[in-house]
Amino acid sequence: MAEEANLDLVCVAPNAKIPVCRFLDYSKFRYEQQRKARESRKNQKIVSIKELWVSPVISANDFETKLKNGRRFLLEGNKLKITLRFVRRMRMLSNETDYMQILNNFIERTQDIAYVESHPSLDGRNMSILLSPKKDK
The dihedral over CA atoms of 63, 66, 68, 70, expressed in degrees to the nearest 10, equals -130
Say if residue 41's pLDDT is above 50.
Answer: yes
Say if residue 124's pLDDT is above 50.
Answer: yes
pLDDT over 90 percentage in the chain: 31
Average pLDDT score over residue span 9-32: 88
Q: How far is CA 10 from the centre of its chain?
A: 39
Confidence of residue 137 (pLDDT cuts 50, 70, 90): very low
Decide if 86 contacts 122 (C-beta within 8 A).
no
Q: What is the pLDDT of residue 1?
A: 84
Say if residue 24's pLDDT is above 70.
Answer: yes
Give the tens place of pLDDT for each residue, 46-85.
Answer: 778 999 998 888 888 999 999 999 999 999 889 999 998 8
